[in-house]
Amino acid sequence: TPIIGVLALQGDVREHAIALAELDAIARPVRKVEEFADLDALVIPGGESTTMSKLAVSFGLFPALRARVAEGMPVYGSCAGMIMLADKILDGREDQETVGGIDMIVRRNAFGRQNDSFEADVPFAGLEGDDPIHGVFIRAPWVESVGAEVEVLARLSAEPYADRIVAVRQGNLLATSFHPELTPDRRVHAYFVDMVRATL
Ligand code: GLN
């Protein structure tokens, strides 16, 4: 049974923990350096990336997080978690640090004020079945551009945001702009847990 940490500095930790437990993984909230050592994988939840980043600095977590990513530990980030996995961000706070690991540029709050929050059906490559995922976007980022090693898993399909990239994978790192932890469909978490099981 994989032990999957959920970074519990800020954000929707509980919803991710519930989703993981439903898939027979052990979900463990983590916030201290010592707690990262025996994890098989990590989820970085949605929330507020500037706050999460600040807290990660004050808890001294960035070196341990980057080291585990470099070792190949699987990490899934939703929304603010996607921002945390981006090598580069746009419209971030001046000194906002990220863990990085995915060769992409992510734009924070990309959908603007009018569309602070919206929902859309998103075709998502590699999930069980052909049904799109119902994506909940809350002051969401989008992926502005990706490097050659990054696999694009999902793009929005309707105007005005058609073709905007909203889910990516690079190696053992997975990121979505939206929040599958807030809807009952568990296919994105199942995709991640399968990635984790493949490393055990
Ligand atoms: N706008 C938030 C940020 O910059 C992300 C929102 C979310 O995680 N729902 O971190």
* Model pLDDT for residues 52-70, shown as the tens digit of each residue: 999 999 999 999 999 999 9
Q: Judge if the beta carbon of residue 54 lies within 6 A of ligand 1.
A: no
ipTM of the complex: 0.95
How confident is the model at residue 106, as a pLDDT?
A: 98
Q: Which atom belonging to ligand 1 lies closest to the Cα atom of 179?
A: 9
Q: Judge if the beta carbon of residue 80 lies within 6 A of ligand 1.
A: yes
Q: Is 97 a catalytic residue?
A: no
Q: What are the structure tokens assigned to 169, written together?
A: 């994978």
Cα angle at 103 between 152 and 91, to 5 degrees? 95
Helix (H, G, I), strand (E, B) or coil at 186: coil
Say whether pTM exceeds 0.95: yes
Whole-angstrom Cα distance, residue 93 to residue 184?
Answer: 33
How confident is the model at residue 114, as a pLDDT?
A: 74
| pLDDT for 26 beyond 90 | yes
Q: Domain map of the chain by residue range?
A: 3-197
1.10.287.990, 1.20.1070.10, 3.30.950.10, 3.40.50.880: CATH of 3-197:
3.40.50.880
Average pLDDT (81-97) is 96
CB 110 within 8 Å of CB 178:
no
Q: What is the pLDDT of residues 146-192, one digit of tens each?
A: 999 999 999 999 899 999 999 999 999 999 999 999 999 999 999 99
